[in-house]
Structure 1
Amino acid sequence: MLALNAVLLVLDTLQWILIGKPGAVMRILSLLTATVYCAMTPFPCFFWSIYADYQIYKDEDRIKKRFVPMVIPLILNLLLTFLSVFYGFLFVIDQNNIYHRGGLFYFMAGVCYFYLVYSVISIVRNRESLEKKGLHFAAFICAAALSRRNHPSLVLWGFHCVGLYGAFHYDYLSQYSKQPTVHGSFNRALQSQAVGKLYAGLD
Structure 2
Amino acid sequence: MSVIKREANNLSFRQCSLTQYSLFRSLQVNHLSTMLLTLLLLPAIRRTTASTWAPRIILLTSEVHYWADLPERTAPNILTTLNNSTAWGTANRYRVTKLFNVLFVQELARRLARSPLLGDRSIVVSSVNPGLTNTNIGVGSLSFIVKKLLFGRSAERSAITSVYVATAPEVAKLTPYGRYYSNCMAEEAADLTLGVEGEELAGRLW
Q: TM-score, normalised by structure 1?
A: 0.33
Higher relative contact order (CA 8 A, sep 6+): 2
Flag the structure with larger Rg. 1
- The structure with the greater share of residues assigned to strand is 2
